[in-house]
């Protein structure tokens, strides 16, 4: 499942993301009639530390009523890709039979860390805003993430007109998921419950999605002078969580309420040249395709994390993919980016798209901080 994503500084801004993810997971298991005691190991994917993060996966398991071990995984925007792959690898090698991937983040009100620095001038402390400082500066290059997107746009000749055109397409694709009273989203989305002493608030839909139009996009100024990206053609920070059971084929068949098999097939990774982050996914995708022994034409659903529209433009140009094939039914450009759970939600949407199409191979990929990327391919039968 994926919860709705809430734009930062919205309804989830004061919720501990690990506690909320554990509470939501517990409710999900109860709603589906699943026994959480089947889980042997918990993989916690998150990037923004919360109070209690030191205990991470073991605390999350305890909140679900489980006395099991676990581990935390953090790889910026590719966190969920690596969380799911790590769990699948453990199952495939026989180290365990059933794992649970809990992927969560709260970008709102990210922590400000202070380190003592007695030797500094006047004892001046060292400090960091965990979210904003790292978005604006990669310590390896000194470059901010927007700058990496504009570097890719310049090198590959992408224009403002292309950026606006594909951005509008992404909003139209997201609108398809809202048709018929959100019939598509309801296949995988599970509501959030926020309880207080006085009331319970239910969040069942994405929060903070901006409306857009061709004319509206054209009126926006680019963020960087001479660039192609406006605030319309890049994502917004968000809060939310996802959960996924990864187990053996036999156990999955016993648990499933539908005659659908979803098998993890392959994984790929890549690191591109410095300060060109949106160019990284193409190499990870090609590695995953090679490992799966298939070509791009074999994919029935392609999901790409899009913090900037340059990500989709680059993937399409380098791998020869029509933009209409990418990010049907939803894009992180539109519904926001909580980092830890983002690509897991994209994969779930890709799986549901594949079911509608009668099955096939699904790709979920995305860039990550440090000009890196990860990709995962599953087969829906």
pLDDT tens-digit readout, 49-101? 999 999 999 999 999 999 999 999 999 999 999 999 999 999 999 999 999 99
CA dist., res. 171 & res. 369, Å (int): 25
Domains in the chain, number: 2
CA dist., res. 132 & res. 107, Å (int): 9
Query: What are the percentages of helix, strand and coil residues in the chain, rounded to 5?
Result: 40, 25, 35
Domain that holds residue 242: 6-107+237-255
Same domain, 102 and 166: no
pTM above 0.95, yes or no: yes
Closest CA to 363 of 272, 276, 280, 265: 265
Same domain, 231 and 311: yes
Predicted pLDDT at 259: 86
Read off the DSSP letter of residue 124. P
Please say whether the beta carbons of 299 and 136 come within 8 A: no
Residue 129 lies in a domain: no
Same domain, 195 and 319: yes
* pLDDT mean over 1-28: 98
Stated as kind and residue range, the H or E segment containing 202 is strand 200-203
Single out the residue in 255, 289, 323 at which a domain terminates: 255
Same domain, 213 and 298: yes
Residue 92: CB atoms within 10 A of its CB come to 11
* pLDDT mean over 237-252: 97
Tell me the pLDDT tens digit for each residue of 250-293: 999 999 888 899 999 999 999 999 999 999 999 999 999 999 99
Tell me the pLDDT tens digit for each residue of 316-345: 999 999 999 999 999 999 999 999 999 999
CA dist., res. 95 & res. 287, Å (int): 25
Residue 11 lies in a domain: yes
Rg value, the chain, Cα: 20
* pLDDT mean over 94-117: 97
Tell me the pLDDT tens digit for each residue of 212-237: 999 999 999 999 999 999 999 999 99
Residue 360 lies in a domain: yes
Same domain, 187 and 48: no
Hey, is 244 helix, strand or coil? strand
Q: Which residues are catalytic?
A: 77, 337, 367
Structure-token pair, residue 345: 């939600």
Structure-token pair, residue 143: 């470059």
Closest CA to 12 of 181, 221, 191, 170: 191
Predicted pLDDT at 257: 86
Same domain, 150 and 287: yes
* pLDDT mean over 130-156: 97
Range of lowest pLDDT (20-34, 248-262, 342-356): 248-262
Structure-token pair, residue 343: 């690509």
Structure-token pair, residue 80: 């969920």
Please say whether the beta carbons of 43 and 14 come within 8 A: no
Residue 135 lies in a domain: no
Residue 133 lies in a domain: no
CATH value at residue 35: 3.40.47.10
Same domain, 214 and 357: yes
Same domain, 242 and 277: no
Residue 306 lies in a domain: yes
Predicted pLDDT at 300: 98
Closest CA to 21 of 108, 104, 82: 104
Same domain, 268 and 372: yes
Same domain, 277 and 174: yes
Give the HSE-up count for residue 286: Cα atoms under 13 Å, Cβ half-sphere: 11
φ and ψ at residue 297, rounded to 5 degrees = -70, -20
- Beta-bridge mates of residue 266: 377
Q: Helix count (H) and strand count (E) of the chain?
A: 12, 13
Residue 196 confidence class, pLDDT cut points 50, 70, 90:
confident
Same domain, 246 and 189: no
Predicted pLDDT at 261: 93
Hey, is 92 helix, strand or coil? helix
Residue 137 lies in a domain: no
Closest CA to 134 of 145, 147, 148: 145
Stated as kind and residue range, the H or E segment containing 302 is strand 299-304
From first CA to last CA, the distance across the chain in angstroms is 19
Residue 302 lies in a domain: yes
Q: What does pLDDT average to over the chain?
A: 97
Angle between helices 17-32 and 56-63 (to 10 degrees): 40
Same domain, 208 and 245: no
Single out the residue in 225, 255, 285 at which a domain terminates: 255
Closest CA to 43 of 77, 107, 78, 88: 88
């Amino acid at each position: 499942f994926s919860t709705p994503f809430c734009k930062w500084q919205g309804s989830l801004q004061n919720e501990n993301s690990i506690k909320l993810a554990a509470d939501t997971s517990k409710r999900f298991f109860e709603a589906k009639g699943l026994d959480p005691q089947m889980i042997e190991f918990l993989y916690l994917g998150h990037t923004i530390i919360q109070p209690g993060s030191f205990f991470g996966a073991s605390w999350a398991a305890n909140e679900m009523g489980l006395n099991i071990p676990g581990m935390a995984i953090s790889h910026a925007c590719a966190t969920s890709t690596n969380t799911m792959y790590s769990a699948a690898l453990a199952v495939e090698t026989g180290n365990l039979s059933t794992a649970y991937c809990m992927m969560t983040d709260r970008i709102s009100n990210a922590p400000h860390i202070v380190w003592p620095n007695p030797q500094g001038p006047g004892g001046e402390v060292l400090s960091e805003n965990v979210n904003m400082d790292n978005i604006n500066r990669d310590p390896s290059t000194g470059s901010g993430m927007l700058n990496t997107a504009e570097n890719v746009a310049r090198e590959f000749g992408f224009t403002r007109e292309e950026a606006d055109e594909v951005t509008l397409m992404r909003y139209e694709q997201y609108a398809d998921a809202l048709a018929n009273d959100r019939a598509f989203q309801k296949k995988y989305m599970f509501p959030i419950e926020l309880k207080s002493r006085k009331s319970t608030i239910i969040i069942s839909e994405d929060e903070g999605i901006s409306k857009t139009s061709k004319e509206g996009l054209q009126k926006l100024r680019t963020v960087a002078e001479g660039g192609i990206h406006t605030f319309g053609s890049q994502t917004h920070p968000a809060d939310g969580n996802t959960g996924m059971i990864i187990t053996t084929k036999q156990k999955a068949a016993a648990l499933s309420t539908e005659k659908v098999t979803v098998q993890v097939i392959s994984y790929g990774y890549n690191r591109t040249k410095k300060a060109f982050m949106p160019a990284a996914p193409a190499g990870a995708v090609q590695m995953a395709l090679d490992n799966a022994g298939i070509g791009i034409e074999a994919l029935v659903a392609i999901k790409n994390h899009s913090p900037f529209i340059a990500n989709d433009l680059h993937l399409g140009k380098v791998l020869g993919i029509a933009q209409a094939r990418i990010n049907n039914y939803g894009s992180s450009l539109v519904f926001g980016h909580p980092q830890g759970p983002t690509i897991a939600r994209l994969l779930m949407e890709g799986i549901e798209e594949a079911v509608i199409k009668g099955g096939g191979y699904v790709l979920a990929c995305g860039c990550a901080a440090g000009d890196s990327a990860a990709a995962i391919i599953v087969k829906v039968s």
